[in-house]
Amino acid sequence: MSKSNFTRRGLIRTGAASGAALAMPSIFTGAAWSAAHSGYTNAPQGDTVTLGFNVPQSGPYADEGMDELRAFELAVEHLNGEGDGGCLATFSSKVLDGTGILGKKVAYVTGDTQTKSDAARASAKSMIEKDGAIMISGGSSSGVAVAVQGLCQEAGIIFMAGLTHSNDTTGKDKKANGFRHFFNAYMSGAALAPVLDKAYGADRKAYHLTADYTWGWTQQESIQAATEAIGWETVNNVLTPLASTDFSSYIAPVLNSGADVLVLNHYGGNMVNSLTQAVQFGLRDKQVNGKDFQIVVPLYSELMAKGAGANIKGVFGSTNWSWKLQDEGTQAFVRSFGTKYGFPPSNAAQTCYAQTLLYADAAARAGSFNPCAIVEALEGYEFDGLGNGPTLYRAEDHQCFKDVLVMQGKENPDNEYDALEIVEITPRAQVEYAPDHPMFAGGSLGECNPGA
Protein backbone atom coordinates (compact mmCIF):
# COMPACT_ATOMS: atom_id res chain seq x y z
CA MET A 1 0.00 0.00 0.00
CA SER A 2 1.41 3.34 -0.94
CA LYS A 3 1.21 6.42 1.18
CA SER A 4 0.59 9.80 -0.42
CA ASN A 5 2.66 12.82 0.73
CA PHE A 6 0.16 15.20 -0.76
CA THR A 7 -1.13 17.52 2.00
CA ARG A 8 -3.50 20.46 2.04
CA ARG A 9 -0.64 22.80 3.05
CA GLY A 10 1.51 21.46 0.19
CA LEU A 11 -1.28 21.96 -2.31
CA ILE A 12 -1.62 25.60 -1.28
CA ARG A 13 2.15 26.17 -1.56
CA THR A 14 2.33 24.58 -5.01
CA GLY A 15 -0.67 26.52 -6.20
CA ALA A 16 0.79 29.80 -4.97
CA ALA A 17 4.12 29.11 -6.67
CA SER A 18 2.41 28.20 -9.94
CA GLY A 19 0.29 31.31 -9.76
CA ALA A 20 3.33 33.50 -9.16
CA ALA A 21 5.14 31.89 -12.07
CA LEU A 22 2.23 32.47 -14.40
CA ALA A 23 2.01 36.07 -13.24
CA MET A 24 5.72 36.84 -13.98
CA PRO A 25 6.61 39.19 -16.81
CA SER A 26 7.11 37.26 -20.01
CA ILE A 27 10.73 38.42 -20.35
CA PHE A 28 11.73 35.93 -17.60
CA THR A 29 9.74 33.02 -18.87
CA GLY A 30 9.79 33.71 -22.56
CA ALA A 31 10.89 31.21 -25.15
CA ALA A 32 14.04 33.15 -25.94
CA TRP A 33 15.40 32.96 -22.38
CA SER A 34 14.49 29.28 -22.02
CA ALA A 35 16.10 28.36 -25.29
CA ALA A 36 19.23 30.30 -24.45
CA HIS A 37 19.64 29.08 -20.88
CA SER A 38 18.62 25.45 -20.91
CA GLY A 39 19.01 22.40 -23.06
CA TYR A 40 22.79 22.24 -22.78
CA THR A 41 25.27 20.68 -20.42
CA ASN A 42 25.83 22.50 -17.11
CA ALA A 43 23.56 25.46 -17.90
CA PRO A 44 24.47 27.85 -15.05
CA GLN A 45 21.94 28.05 -12.24
CA GLY A 46 22.08 30.76 -9.60
CA ASP A 47 24.36 33.75 -9.76
CA THR A 48 27.67 32.09 -10.62
CA VAL A 49 29.15 30.38 -13.66
CA THR A 50 31.94 27.84 -13.19
CA LEU A 51 34.96 27.49 -15.46
CA GLY A 52 37.33 24.51 -15.31
CA PHE A 53 41.09 25.01 -15.59
CA ASN A 54 42.85 21.76 -16.35
CA VAL A 55 46.63 22.23 -16.15
CA PRO A 56 49.63 20.11 -15.18
CA GLN A 57 50.05 20.76 -11.45
CA SER A 58 52.37 17.82 -11.04
CA GLY A 59 54.70 16.04 -13.43
CA PRO A 60 57.40 17.49 -15.66
CA TYR A 61 55.40 20.52 -16.87
CA ALA A 62 54.15 21.56 -13.42
CA ASP A 63 55.94 24.92 -13.49
CA GLU A 64 54.36 25.72 -16.84
CA GLY A 65 50.99 24.59 -15.49
CA MET A 66 51.35 26.85 -12.48
CA ASP A 67 52.06 29.82 -14.74
CA GLU A 68 48.92 28.99 -16.73
CA LEU A 69 46.94 28.78 -13.51
CA ARG A 70 48.19 32.20 -12.44
CA ALA A 71 46.95 33.62 -15.74
CA PHE A 72 43.55 31.95 -15.34
CA GLU A 73 43.18 33.37 -11.84
CA LEU A 74 44.10 36.81 -13.11
CA ALA A 75 41.56 36.53 -15.92
CA VAL A 76 38.82 35.55 -13.46
CA GLU A 77 39.76 38.50 -11.24
CA HIS A 78 39.48 40.87 -14.16
CA LEU A 79 36.18 39.39 -15.35
CA ASN A 80 34.76 39.87 -11.84
CA GLY A 81 35.87 43.50 -11.69
CA GLU A 82 38.81 42.96 -9.35
CA GLY A 83 42.40 44.13 -9.83
CA ASP A 84 43.31 46.66 -12.50
CA GLY A 85 41.17 45.07 -15.20
CA GLY A 86 44.14 44.04 -17.35
CA CYS A 87 43.23 43.61 -20.99
CA LEU A 88 39.53 44.43 -20.54
CA ALA A 89 40.55 48.02 -21.25
CA THR A 90 42.57 47.18 -24.37
CA PHE A 91 40.40 44.39 -25.84
CA SER A 92 38.74 45.49 -29.07
CA SER A 93 35.42 44.05 -27.90
CA LYS A 94 33.83 46.15 -25.20
CA VAL A 95 31.06 43.87 -23.94
CA LEU A 96 33.00 42.74 -20.86
CA ASP A 97 32.55 45.27 -18.06
CA GLY A 98 33.93 43.56 -14.97
CA THR A 99 30.56 42.26 -13.78
CA GLY A 100 31.30 38.62 -14.53
CA ILE A 101 29.82 36.92 -17.56
CA LEU A 102 26.19 37.70 -18.44
CA GLY A 103 25.80 39.12 -14.95
CA LYS A 104 27.02 35.96 -13.25
CA LYS A 105 30.08 36.03 -11.05
CA VAL A 106 32.83 33.80 -12.42
CA ALA A 107 33.96 30.92 -10.23
CA TYR A 108 36.51 28.32 -11.18
CA VAL A 109 37.73 24.86 -10.34
CA THR A 110 41.12 23.38 -11.18
CA GLY A 111 42.28 19.94 -12.23
CA ASP A 112 45.69 18.30 -12.50
CA THR A 113 46.44 16.80 -15.93
CA GLN A 114 49.81 15.39 -14.78
CA THR A 115 50.67 15.78 -18.52
CA LYS A 116 48.97 12.42 -19.04
CA SER A 117 46.02 12.02 -21.38
CA ASP A 118 44.08 9.64 -19.14
CA ALA A 119 44.61 11.74 -15.99
CA ALA A 120 43.67 14.90 -17.94
CA ARG A 121 40.46 13.32 -19.21
CA ALA A 122 39.58 12.09 -15.71
CA SER A 123 40.08 15.51 -14.14
CA ALA A 124 38.15 17.25 -16.95
CA LYS A 125 35.32 14.73 -16.55
CA SER A 126 35.22 15.37 -12.82
CA MET A 127 35.09 19.13 -13.33
CA ILE A 128 32.25 18.75 -15.81
CA GLU A 129 30.19 16.18 -13.92
CA LYS A 130 30.83 17.09 -10.28
CA ASP A 131 31.66 20.79 -10.39
CA GLY A 132 29.37 21.81 -13.24
CA ALA A 133 32.14 23.47 -15.27
CA ILE A 134 30.73 24.96 -18.47
CA MET A 135 34.08 25.50 -20.17
CA ILE A 136 37.38 23.65 -19.88
CA SER A 137 40.69 25.28 -20.64
CA GLY A 138 44.35 24.45 -20.12
CA GLY A 139 47.17 22.54 -21.68
CA SER A 140 50.95 22.13 -22.02
CA SER A 141 50.87 18.99 -24.12
CA SER A 142 49.26 18.32 -27.47
CA GLY A 143 48.51 14.72 -26.53
CA VAL A 144 46.55 15.97 -23.53
CA ALA A 145 44.84 18.74 -25.50
CA VAL A 146 43.62 16.35 -28.20
CA ALA A 147 42.31 13.91 -25.56
CA VAL A 148 40.48 16.58 -23.52
CA GLN A 149 39.12 18.26 -26.65
CA GLY A 150 37.55 14.95 -27.66
CA LEU A 151 36.00 14.56 -24.22
CA CYS A 152 34.56 18.09 -24.26
CA GLN A 153 33.06 17.47 -27.70
CA GLU A 154 31.28 14.36 -26.38
CA ALA A 155 30.13 16.12 -23.21
CA GLY A 156 28.84 19.26 -24.92
CA ILE A 157 31.37 21.57 -23.27
CA ILE A 158 33.52 24.27 -24.88
CA PHE A 159 37.26 23.54 -24.84
CA MET A 160 39.52 26.60 -25.03
CA ALA A 161 42.93 25.00 -25.56
CA GLY A 162 45.94 26.35 -23.68
CA LEU A 163 49.47 25.52 -24.82
CA THR A 164 49.19 22.95 -27.62
CA HIS A 165 51.36 23.27 -30.73
CA SER A 166 50.73 20.10 -32.75
CA ASN A 167 49.11 20.64 -36.15
CA ASP A 168 46.70 17.85 -35.25
CA THR A 169 44.84 19.86 -32.55
CA THR A 170 43.21 21.97 -35.24
CA GLY A 171 44.04 19.49 -38.02
CA LYS A 172 43.00 15.89 -38.10
CA ASP A 173 41.77 15.98 -34.48
CA LYS A 174 39.86 19.27 -34.64
CA LYS A 175 36.44 19.42 -33.02
CA ALA A 176 33.55 21.87 -33.29
CA ASN A 177 33.57 22.54 -29.53
CA GLY A 178 37.36 23.15 -29.45
CA PHE A 179 39.25 26.40 -30.09
CA ARG A 180 42.99 27.09 -30.17
CA HIS A 181 44.49 30.53 -29.64
CA PHE A 182 48.10 29.21 -29.56
CA PHE A 183 50.07 28.95 -32.81
CA ASN A 184 51.04 25.61 -34.36
CA ALA A 185 53.97 23.69 -35.80
CA TYR A 186 53.26 24.78 -39.39
CA MET A 187 53.34 28.42 -38.33
CA SER A 188 56.67 27.89 -36.53
CA GLY A 189 58.18 26.50 -39.72
CA ALA A 190 56.73 29.26 -41.89
CA ALA A 191 58.01 31.97 -39.53
CA LEU A 192 61.44 30.48 -38.92
CA ALA A 193 62.47 29.51 -42.46
CA PRO A 194 63.03 33.05 -43.86
CA VAL A 195 65.00 34.04 -40.74
CA LEU A 196 67.15 30.91 -41.01
CA ASP A 197 67.68 31.61 -44.70
CA LYS A 198 68.87 35.11 -43.92
CA ALA A 199 71.08 34.07 -41.01
CA TYR A 200 72.57 30.82 -42.28
CA GLY A 201 71.99 30.84 -46.04
CA ALA A 202 70.12 28.49 -48.36
CA ASP A 203 72.89 25.91 -48.76
CA ARG A 204 72.50 24.00 -45.55
CA LYS A 205 72.16 20.35 -44.56
CA ALA A 206 69.86 19.67 -41.60
CA TYR A 207 69.82 16.72 -39.19
CA HIS A 208 66.62 16.38 -37.16
CA LEU A 209 66.15 14.84 -33.73
CA THR A 210 62.41 14.46 -33.14
CA ALA A 211 60.35 13.59 -30.08
CA ASP A 212 58.44 10.44 -30.98
CA TYR A 213 54.81 11.58 -30.49
CA THR A 214 52.14 13.64 -32.23
CA TRP A 215 53.68 17.05 -31.59
CA GLY A 216 57.20 15.96 -32.58
CA TRP A 217 56.01 14.38 -35.83
CA THR A 218 54.04 17.42 -36.97
CA GLN A 219 56.77 19.82 -35.84
CA GLN A 220 59.41 17.91 -37.79
CA GLU A 221 57.23 17.61 -40.89
CA SER A 222 56.53 21.35 -40.78
CA ILE A 223 60.08 22.58 -40.27
CA GLN A 224 61.45 20.13 -42.83
CA ALA A 225 58.97 21.33 -45.45
CA ALA A 226 59.70 24.98 -44.64
CA THR A 227 63.49 24.63 -44.70
CA GLU A 228 63.50 22.49 -47.84
CA ALA A 229 61.45 25.19 -49.51
CA ILE A 230 64.35 27.62 -48.96
CA GLY A 231 66.83 25.12 -50.38
CA TRP A 232 68.03 23.20 -47.32
CA GLU A 233 68.63 19.49 -47.59
CA THR A 234 67.41 17.10 -44.90
CA VAL A 235 70.16 14.61 -44.11
CA ASN A 236 68.36 12.53 -41.52
CA ASN A 237 65.47 12.49 -39.08
CA VAL A 238 65.92 10.38 -35.96
CA LEU A 239 62.96 9.76 -33.66
CA THR A 240 63.89 9.87 -29.98
CA PRO A 241 61.74 8.34 -27.26
CA LEU A 242 59.77 10.89 -25.24
CA ALA A 243 61.15 9.41 -22.02
CA SER A 244 64.79 9.92 -23.07
CA THR A 245 66.99 12.02 -20.83
CA ASP A 246 70.36 11.23 -22.37
CA PHE A 247 70.59 12.12 -26.06
CA SER A 248 74.33 11.61 -26.41
CA SER A 249 74.06 8.50 -28.56
CA TYR A 250 71.70 10.40 -30.91
CA ILE A 251 73.88 13.51 -31.00
CA ALA A 252 77.26 11.81 -31.40
CA PRO A 253 76.76 10.75 -35.05
CA VAL A 254 75.53 14.21 -36.13
CA LEU A 255 78.91 15.77 -36.89
CA ASN A 256 79.94 12.80 -38.99
CA SER A 257 76.70 12.82 -41.00
CA GLY A 258 77.59 15.74 -43.26
CA ALA A 259 74.93 17.94 -41.64
CA ASP A 260 75.80 21.49 -40.63
CA VAL A 261 72.56 22.26 -38.75
CA LEU A 262 70.91 20.28 -35.96
CA VAL A 263 67.16 20.83 -35.60
CA LEU A 264 65.87 19.80 -32.17
CA ASN A 265 62.17 19.01 -32.46
CA HIS A 266 62.03 18.63 -28.71
CA TYR A 267 60.07 20.43 -26.04
CA GLY A 268 60.29 20.78 -22.29
CA GLY A 269 62.81 18.63 -20.47
CA ASN A 270 63.74 16.89 -23.73
CA MET A 271 64.73 20.22 -25.24
CA VAL A 272 66.73 21.29 -22.21
CA ASN A 273 68.68 18.03 -22.17
CA SER A 274 69.22 17.61 -25.91
CA LEU A 275 70.33 21.23 -26.36
CA THR A 276 72.64 21.09 -23.33
CA GLN A 277 74.19 17.86 -24.56
CA ALA A 278 74.58 19.11 -28.14
CA VAL A 279 76.48 22.10 -26.78
CA GLN A 280 78.58 19.79 -24.58
CA PHE A 281 79.53 17.79 -27.64
CA GLY A 282 80.97 21.01 -28.96
CA LEU A 283 78.68 21.10 -31.99
CA ARG A 284 78.45 24.88 -31.97
CA ASP A 285 82.22 25.23 -31.92
CA LYS A 286 82.68 23.09 -35.04
CA GLN A 287 82.83 23.87 -38.71
CA VAL A 288 81.23 21.52 -41.21
CA ASN A 289 81.10 22.00 -44.99
CA GLY A 290 83.09 25.18 -44.43
CA LYS A 291 80.31 26.70 -42.30
CA ASP A 292 79.77 27.21 -38.59
CA PHE A 293 77.60 24.43 -37.20
CA GLN A 294 74.21 25.71 -35.98
CA ILE A 295 71.39 24.46 -33.76
CA VAL A 296 67.70 25.36 -34.18
CA VAL A 297 64.89 24.80 -31.63
CA PRO A 298 61.60 25.42 -33.50
CA LEU A 299 59.38 25.83 -30.40
CA TYR A 300 60.62 27.86 -27.48
CA SER A 301 59.20 28.26 -24.01
CA GLU A 302 60.52 30.91 -21.63
CA LEU A 303 60.49 28.46 -18.74
CA MET A 304 62.49 25.91 -20.70
CA ALA A 305 64.89 28.63 -21.88
CA LYS A 306 65.61 29.23 -18.20
CA GLY A 307 66.38 25.51 -17.85
CA ALA A 308 68.80 25.49 -20.76
CA GLY A 309 70.72 28.46 -19.31
CA ALA A 310 73.64 29.77 -21.32
CA ASN A 311 73.36 26.94 -23.88
CA ILE A 312 70.50 28.76 -25.55
CA LYS A 313 72.56 31.81 -26.53
CA GLY A 314 72.24 32.59 -30.24
CA VAL A 315 69.83 29.68 -30.94
CA PHE A 316 66.76 30.53 -33.07
CA GLY A 317 63.24 29.38 -32.24
CA SER A 318 59.65 30.64 -32.27
CA THR A 319 57.00 31.61 -29.73
CA ASN A 320 53.35 32.58 -29.74
CA TRP A 321 53.93 35.78 -27.77
CA SER A 322 56.53 37.51 -25.61
CA TRP A 323 56.26 39.82 -22.63
CA LYS A 324 58.73 42.07 -24.44
CA LEU A 325 56.18 43.12 -27.08
CA GLN A 326 55.30 46.79 -26.90
CA ASP A 327 51.60 46.84 -27.90
CA GLU A 328 49.15 48.10 -25.31
CA GLY A 329 47.46 44.71 -24.84
CA THR A 330 50.78 43.12 -23.91
CA GLN A 331 51.69 46.05 -21.68
CA ALA A 332 48.38 45.81 -19.82
CA PHE A 333 48.67 42.06 -19.29
CA VAL A 334 52.33 42.18 -18.25
CA ARG A 335 51.62 45.03 -15.84
CA SER A 336 48.75 43.12 -14.19
CA PHE A 337 50.62 39.82 -14.06
CA GLY A 338 53.94 41.33 -13.01
CA THR A 339 52.39 43.45 -10.26
CA LYS A 340 50.48 40.47 -8.85
CA TYR A 341 53.20 37.82 -9.12
CA GLY A 342 56.51 39.71 -9.33
CA PHE A 343 57.81 38.32 -12.62
CA PRO A 344 56.77 38.47 -16.28
CA PRO A 345 54.31 35.92 -17.72
CA SER A 346 55.23 33.12 -20.10
CA ASN A 347 53.57 32.71 -23.50
CA ALA A 348 51.66 29.72 -22.06
CA ALA A 349 50.18 32.08 -19.46
CA GLN A 350 49.26 34.65 -22.08
CA THR A 351 47.37 32.19 -24.27
CA CYS A 352 45.38 30.95 -21.25
CA TYR A 353 44.53 34.49 -20.17
CA ALA A 354 43.44 35.38 -23.71
CA GLN A 355 41.36 32.20 -24.06
CA THR A 356 39.44 32.94 -20.83
CA LEU A 357 38.62 36.47 -21.93
CA LEU A 358 37.69 35.25 -25.43
CA TYR A 359 35.27 32.70 -23.99
CA ALA A 360 33.69 35.28 -21.68
CA ASP A 361 33.43 37.76 -24.52
CA ALA A 362 31.83 35.19 -26.84
CA ALA A 363 29.23 34.30 -24.20
CA ALA A 364 28.50 37.98 -23.59
CA ARG A 365 28.15 38.72 -27.31
CA ALA A 366 26.00 35.62 -27.86
CA GLY A 367 23.88 36.39 -24.78
CA SER A 368 24.09 32.74 -23.81
CA PHE A 369 26.35 30.05 -22.38
CA ASN A 370 24.95 27.54 -24.87
CA PRO A 371 28.05 25.94 -26.48
CA CYS A 372 26.55 26.27 -29.94
CA ALA A 373 25.97 29.99 -29.40
CA ILE A 374 29.58 30.33 -28.20
CA VAL A 375 30.84 28.46 -31.27
CA GLU A 376 28.85 30.76 -33.51
CA ALA A 377 30.22 33.83 -31.72
CA LEU A 378 33.83 32.69 -32.00
CA GLU A 379 33.83 31.37 -35.57
CA GLY A 380 35.29 33.94 -37.91
CA TYR A 381 35.72 36.40 -35.04
CA GLU A 382 38.31 39.14 -35.52
CA PHE A 383 39.70 40.87 -32.46
CA ASP A 384 42.66 42.87 -31.19
CA GLY A 385 44.09 44.22 -27.94
CA LEU A 386 45.01 40.95 -26.22
CA GLY A 387 48.71 41.13 -27.05
CA ASN A 388 49.04 39.39 -30.41
CA GLY A 389 47.84 42.17 -32.68
CA PRO A 390 44.86 41.72 -35.02
CA THR A 391 43.75 38.11 -34.73
CA LEU A 392 41.22 35.90 -36.52
CA TYR A 393 39.50 32.80 -35.10
CA ARG A 394 39.09 30.98 -38.40
CA ALA A 395 35.68 29.33 -38.75
CA GLU A 396 36.89 26.37 -40.80
CA ASP A 397 39.23 24.88 -38.18
CA HIS A 398 38.91 27.04 -35.02
CA GLN A 399 42.57 28.04 -35.25
CA CYS A 400 43.68 31.59 -34.39
CA PHE A 401 45.73 33.40 -37.03
CA LYS A 402 48.02 36.18 -35.87
CA ASP A 403 51.64 37.30 -35.99
CA VAL A 404 54.27 34.78 -34.89
CA LEU A 405 57.49 35.68 -33.09
CA VAL A 406 60.93 34.44 -34.06
CA MET A 407 63.14 34.46 -30.99
CA GLN A 408 66.85 34.04 -30.37
CA GLY A 409 68.71 33.13 -27.19
CA LYS A 410 70.09 36.39 -25.81
CA GLU A 411 73.87 36.77 -25.51
CA ASN A 412 73.89 38.84 -22.31
CA PRO A 413 70.59 38.44 -20.46
CA ASP A 414 69.84 40.86 -17.61
CA ASN A 415 68.14 38.16 -15.54
CA GLU A 416 66.64 34.68 -15.77
CA TYR A 417 63.48 35.99 -17.49
CA ASP A 418 65.51 37.70 -20.15
CA ALA A 419 66.87 34.57 -21.89
CA LEU A 420 65.15 35.24 -25.25
CA GLU A 421 64.94 38.26 -27.49
CA ILE A 422 62.57 38.97 -30.36
CA VAL A 423 64.37 38.98 -33.71
CA GLU A 424 61.34 39.18 -35.97
CA ILE A 425 57.60 39.57 -35.76
CA THR A 426 56.43 37.43 -38.65
CA PRO A 427 53.23 38.88 -40.11
CA ARG A 428 50.07 36.79 -40.01
CA ALA A 429 49.86 36.56 -43.80
CA GLN A 430 53.16 34.69 -43.90
CA VAL A 431 52.00 31.92 -41.58
CA GLU A 432 48.48 31.45 -42.98
CA TYR A 433 47.54 28.29 -44.84
CA ALA A 434 44.48 26.85 -46.52
CA PRO A 435 42.06 24.90 -44.28
CA ASP A 436 42.58 21.85 -46.48
CA HIS A 437 46.39 22.02 -46.33
CA PRO A 438 47.80 18.45 -46.43
CA MET A 439 49.45 18.83 -43.00
CA PHE A 440 46.02 19.46 -41.47
CA ALA A 441 44.01 17.00 -43.50
CA GLY A 442 42.13 13.98 -42.30
CA GLY A 443 39.57 15.28 -39.81
CA SER A 444 36.45 17.36 -39.70
CA LEU A 445 35.02 19.76 -37.14
CA GLY A 446 31.66 18.02 -37.13
CA GLU A 447 28.68 19.70 -35.51
CA CYS A 448 28.76 21.65 -32.30
CA ASN A 449 27.42 19.60 -29.42
CA PRO A 450 25.42 21.42 -26.72
CA GLY A 451 25.20 18.25 -24.66
CA ALA A 452 22.25 17.56 -22.35
Partner 1 sequence: MDAILLQILNGLDKGSAYALIALGLTLIFGTLGVVNFAHGALFMIGAFCAVTMQRILTISQTTIDESRTDFLGNPMKVETPYVENWFGPELGGAIIDWAVPLAILFAIPVMICIGFIMERGLIKHFYKRPHADQILVTFGLAIVLQEVIKYFYGANPIPTPAPAAFTGSFDFGVLLGFDPNAIIYPLWRLVYFVFSLIIIAAVFGFLQFTTFGMVVRAGMADRETVGLLGINIDKRFTIMFGIAAAVAGLAGVMYTPINSPNYHMGMDFLVLSFVVVVVGGMGSLPGAVLAGFLLGILESFASMNEIKSLVPGIDQIIIYLIAIVILLTRPRGLMGRKGVMEE
Cβ of residue 219: shortest distance to partner 1, in angstroms?
20
Distances from the Cα of 361 to the Cα of 56, 95, 299, 358, angstroms: 26, 7, 29, 5
Q: How many Å apart are CA 253 and CA 185, to the nearest integer?
A: 26
Q: Which window, 357-365, 387-395, 410-418, 420-428, contacts partner 1 (CB under 8 A)?
A: 410-418
Cβ of residue 58: shortest distance to partner 1, in angstroms?
8
Q: How many Å apart are CA 155 and CA 152, to the nearest integer?
A: 5
> Looking at 20, 27, 243, 429, which residue binds partner 1 (CB under 8 A)?
243
Residue 444 touching partner 1 (CB under 8 A) = no
Nearer to partner 1, 201 or 241 (CB): 241
For residue 61, give the nearest of 209, 210, 270, 220 by alpha carbon.
Answer: 270
Residue 352 touching partner 1 (CB under 8 A) = no
Are 176 and 448 within 8 A, CB to CB?
yes
Q: Which window, 4-12, 98-106, 337-345, 400-408, contacts partner 1 (CB under 8 A)?
A: 337-345
Residue 246 touching partner 1 (CB under 8 A) = yes
Residue 308 touching partner 1 (CB under 8 A) = yes
For residue 300, give the nearest of 274, 326, 265, 330 by alpha carbon.
Answer: 265
Q: Which window, 91-99, 131-139, 184-192, 332-340, contacts partner 1 (CB under 8 A)?
A: 332-340
Are 261 and 235 within 8 A, CB to CB?
no
Residue 111 touching partner 1 (CB under 8 A) = no
Residue 302 main-chain phi, psi, to 5 deg: -60, -40
Residue 68 touching partner 1 (CB under 8 A) = no
For residue 424, give the nearest of 442, 444, 403, 447 by alpha carbon.
Answer: 403
Residue 309 touching partner 1 (CB under 8 A) = yes
Half-sphere exposure of 201 (CA within 13 A, CB side): 11
Residue 58 touching partner 1 (CB under 8 A) = yes
Nearer to partner 1, 241 or 442 (CB): 241
Which residues are CB-neighbours of 413 under 8 A, at least 6 positions away? 419
Nearer to partner 1, 245 or 444 (CB): 245
Nearer to partner 1, 127 or 305 (CB): 305
Q: How many Å apart are CA 141 and CA 128, to the nearest integer?
A: 20
Nearer to partner 1, 182 or 417 (CB): 417
> Looking at 131, 236, 367, 395, which residue binds partner 1 (CB under 8 A)?
236
Are 183 and 199 within 8 A, CB to CB?
no
> Looking at 39, 48, 62, 89, which residue binds partner 1 (CB under 8 A)?
62
Nearer to partner 1, 279 or 373 (CB): 279
Task: Supply the DSSP string of 253-313, one letter for each residue.
Answer: TTGGGT-SEEEEE--THHHHHHHHHHHHTTGGG-EETTEE-EEEEEE--HHHHHHHGGGGB
Residue 242 touching partner 1 (CB under 8 A) = no
Q: Which window, 33-41, 43-51, 277-285, 372-380, contacts partner 1 (CB under 8 A)?
A: 277-285
Task: Supply the DSSP string of 149-211, one letter for each residue.
Answer: HHHHHHHT-EEEE-S---GGGGTTT--TTEEE-S--HHHHHHHHHHHHHHHH-S--EEEEEEE
> Looking at 317, 344, 385, 387, which residue binds partner 1 (CB under 8 A)?
344
> Looking at 14, 248, 289, 444, which residue binds partner 1 (CB under 8 A)?
248
> Looking at 3, 31, 46, 285, which residue binds partner 1 (CB under 8 A)?
285
Residue 112 touching partner 1 (CB under 8 A) = no
Residue 34 touching partner 1 (CB under 8 A) = no
Could you tell me the sign of the dihedral formed by the alpha carbons of 167, 172, 176, 178, in that order?
negative
Distances from the Cα of 112 to the Cα of 53, 64, 122, 352, 422, angstroms: 9, 12, 9, 15, 32
Nearer to partner 1, 334 or 372 (CB): 334
For residue 229, give the nearest of 197, 261, 260, 264 by alpha carbon.
Answer: 197
Residue 289 touching partner 1 (CB under 8 A) = no
For residue 96, give the nearest of 359, 374, 279 by alpha carbon.
Answer: 359
> Looking at 117, 220, 227, 277, which residue binds partner 1 (CB under 8 A)?
277
Nearer to partner 1, 37 or 324 (CB): 324
* Residues at the contact surface with partner 1, assessed by CB under 8 A: 58-64, 236, 238, 241, 243, 245-246, 248-250, 252-253, 255-256, 269, 272-273, 276-277, 279-282, 285-286, 288, 303-304, 306-311, 323-324, 334-335, 338-339, 344, 414-415, 417
